Amino acid sequence: MTVTHSSTSDMIGREDVNDVEAILSVPMVDPDEVLHAVKSDAETIFTWDYSLARPHLRKLYEKAKTGQWNGSIDIPWETPVDVEKTIAADQEVLGKGVDPDWYAGTPLERWGDKEWLEFGIQGRKWMLSQFLHGEQGALICTAKITETVPWYDAKLYASTQVVDEARHVEVFARYLDEKLGGGYQINSHLGMLLDDVVKDARWDMTYLGMQIMVEGLALAAFGFLHQLTSEPLLKHLLRYVMSDEARHVAFGVLSLKEVYEHMSDAEMKERQEFAFEASVRMRDRFLQQEVWHHMGVNAKDIVPLMLQDPGRKMFQQMLFSKIVPNCKKLGLLERNDQWLRRRFEDLGVIQFEDWENTGEEYLKFELGQEPAEIRHH
């Protein structure tokens, strides 16, 4: 069988990954949109084989049952959150999200403390909103995996993840509503990625798009924010969500490892391309077009600089610190003449390849088991 070569524009709708014009030409999702329908081509599969065929997945299922927590009881919702104070304190540690000196000659040059604080507040609302929409994506994808995966052990496990994700949607939605006074519509790049993952008829693609890519990024981003924010309620909430997320990524790694071992080069190429497409979509979403729009700034003036901003580059690369080692563990980097390795080199994220993969690391995230670097203070 020959391996087909899709062009970059087949995969991501443009030839140059950094084509700002094309990135920004994707319109923002209507803020008033309430419902969004996606057709899925996937088959729902029953299995009559109830034997314990995959003990590693059953172990995760047992962990999931004892790892449950209650979003309305286990999170100290009574904690007051002073948004301005929180963001000002976090900006002391995190920086402003972008490096002001880097944007000389743009409208940001005229911003004073008031504008930078407002930018920080909007940025936080925006980021937690994208987490929220991603969590709903995970809720829907794991319901889909429960239906489409042919393995009994995986159906059992996936059903527990549906409950986990419902809880994550619940706590992020509540935090945004009660503590931040509302959030943002889904970013269109994230929306396109979720649509692709939900639409695809092949059950393993749901795992790759959700468990490896979206949740891998979420685990890294949650860890980053958890470590750096001084806001105790958010810290607590993120710690609880992370204890579940690490298990979810492990579910993806353990399942796909088995599937990919038997795949042809041509089939692997499609998975590699999908992983690349997802990486670009996720990078594009962090350009936070909606926040620039809210601040009255033309994103076209800012985004070309953002793509080169050294401070942001570090943050952006960190987001891939779970994805790259997990892709490596799955054999996605090396197959087809290292096709995905070369794409990750282009995106500047290959340096994470030998970091710990989540197939083994998830036990560290269990509540009560945390090492110093992720312990809740």
**Alpha-carbon gap, residue 52 to 46, rounded angstroms:** 16
User: Which CB, 192 or 213, lies closer to Fe ion?
Assistant: 213
Smallest separation (angstroms) from Fe ion to the CB of 252: 10
User: Which CB, 245 or 290, lies closer to Fe ion?
Assistant: 245
Burial of 81 (0-12, 13-18, 19+ CB in 10 A): middle
Smallest separation (angstroms) from Fe ion to the CB of 282: 15
Smallest separation (angstroms) from Fe ion to the CB of 213: 12
User: Which CB, 9 or 68, lies closer to Fe ion?
Assistant: 68
Smallest separation (angstroms) from Fe ion to the CB of 349: 21
Smallest separation (angstroms) from Fe ion to the CB of 256: 15
Cβ 185 vs Cβ 30: under 8 Å: yes
Nearest alpha-carbon partner for 213 in 149, 134, 143:
134
Burial of 323 (0-12, 13-18, 19+ CB in 10 A): buried
Nearest alpha-carbon partner for 303 in 139, 108, 128:
108
How far is the first Cα of the chain from the last one, in angstroms, to the nearest whole number?
A: 55
Amino acid, single-letter form, for residue 341: R
User: Which CB, 171 or 268, lies closer to Fe ion?
Assistant: 171
User: Which two three-digit tokens encode residue 283?
Assistant: 């990078």
Sign for the CA dihedral angle at 57, 60, 62, 64 comes to negative
Residue 266 DSSP symbol = H
Secondary-structure percent of the chain, ordered helix, strand, coil, rounded to 5: 65, 0, 35
Smallest separation (angstroms) from Fe ion to the CB of 319: 16
| Helix-helix angle 152-179:113-148, to 10 degrees | 160
Instruction: Catalog residues that contact Fe ion under the rule CB under 5 A.
Output: 135, 138, 165, 168, 215, 245, 248
**Alpha-carbon gap, residue 21 to 37, rounded angstroms:** 28
User: Which CB, 168 or 335, lies closer to Fe ion?
Assistant: 168
User: Which CB, 60 or 108, lies closer to Fe ion?
Assistant: 60
User: Which CB, 322 or 341, lies closer to Fe ion?
Assistant: 322
Smallest separation (angstroms) from Fe ion to the CB of 327: 18
